[in-house]
Structure 1
């Protein structure tokens, strides 16, 4: 299945705790869409969140975010894993 990196730009600071709660909601929602959220990174001060997701397509990944907590990605990029 393809890998995607999605980017959320919130425009204000965000806490790791808030992102962890949103990620937990993604994990509870993902199976219904054949999606697996693998990892995430946070730039707390800039309010940016980056999620690595295994999904059949970008829209499936965004559907999980939409249903889980409503915070859809601003951008989604197909990526390939390197060493």
Structure 2
């Protein structure tokens, strides 16, 4: 999906109706290709992957508090391991 977004932005940059649109699109491309942006996106994928099961459990109407508390602990441990690695 990332490559597709960059591709579309490149098209908008080249075929932009206004000069300002081309400039803004160029800035977006530069930001999206920066180390900080890519690192942050990879980190968010890891974090959301770890917390997804907990999030789904907490959104259920039939809340199992005991199970949710276990998932909180598991998520916390996994996040702490992510920091160590």
TM-score range, shorter chain: under 0.3
TM-score by length of 1: 0.21
TM-score by length of 2: 0.21
Higher strand share: 1
- Higher relative CO (Cα under 8 Å, sequence separation at least 6) belongs to 1
